[in-house]
Amino acid sequence: DLFCNNQHRAVSYPFEWWCNTFQKNIASIGEVLLVMTPWHDPIPLTRAWCLWEIYCTFNGKIPLSVGLPPNQRESFLNGVTESFEAITDALVRIDAERSEAFKQEDRENIHRAVRESGPGFHGLNVQIKEHLREWYLETALALAEAACASDAGNPRALKNLAWSLHIYGDDKAALRLLERCLQLCRETLGKKGGVTAAVAAATTTAATTA
């Protein structure tokens, strides 16, 4: 809204203006970008006005894109490869009702508008989580493909990433990653190690569902 609203006059606009004209402005732009900073608990999802923009985006059936800044990429990669629960933990944190605003009056008006709408806060949370779950999965898939094509890799990281893919329903990609992980385990840890055995068991299980 920095470019489509007059920042000097915006403070004097009534809330009704934001409910109508603001949504029309978003629709005229045709797309909204959600910047994931930090990726595991994005600041925009804690700000009432940002959530109002997202609400208007969903309500107007406008495309919502997700962007990961360069300074968050390494953290994201580390998070999803170190723990298969990283994505789930990030989704659990999403709660639109905890959002804040600089002016308490704005927060109350926005919360009232969302609460009195058809889906309410629960519906808004579900929409955001479903959208981000898809983005997390697509990003994890990209990591998986890169890992499968690589000549090097961390077996534990690959196993965690494969489990994340399995949780979110892509068993074929998970199987490809586990097969690569098993190969690395046998090459670096030996065929009879405990880790190798665990990965082999997980690979067998994944093969039955892929």
Q: Which residues pair with 32 in a beta bridge?
A: 64
Tell me, yes or no, if the pTM score tops 0.85. Answer: no
Lowest-confidence range among 17-21, 53-57, 81-85?
17-21
* Structure-model confidence comparison of residues 3 and 117, the more confident one: 117
Confidence band for 11, pLDDT divided at 50, 70 and 90: low
- Residue for token pair 């046998």: 186
The per-residue pLDDT for 65 is 95
Nearby residues of 38 by Cβ (< 8 Å), 6 or more positions away? 72, 75
Query: Angle between the 48-59 and 120-149 helix axes, to the nearest 10 degrees?
Result: 90
Say if residue 124's pLDDT is above 80: yes
The per-residue pLDDT for 186 is 85
Lowest-confidence range among 24-33, 155-164, 171-180?
155-164
List the structure tokens of 89: 């933990």
Confidence band for 206, pLDDT divided at 50, 70 and 90: confident
Q: What is the DSSP letter of 210?
A: -
Say if residue 16's pLDDT is above 60: yes
The per-residue pLDDT for 209 is 80
Q: Rounded to whole angstroms, how far apart are CA atoms 176 and 103?
A: 51
* Structure-model confidence comparison of residues 138 and 9, the more confident one: 138
Q: Rounded to whole angstroms, how far apart are CA atoms 65 and 135?
A: 9
The per-residue pLDDT for 83 is 82
- Residue for token pair 């994505």: 87
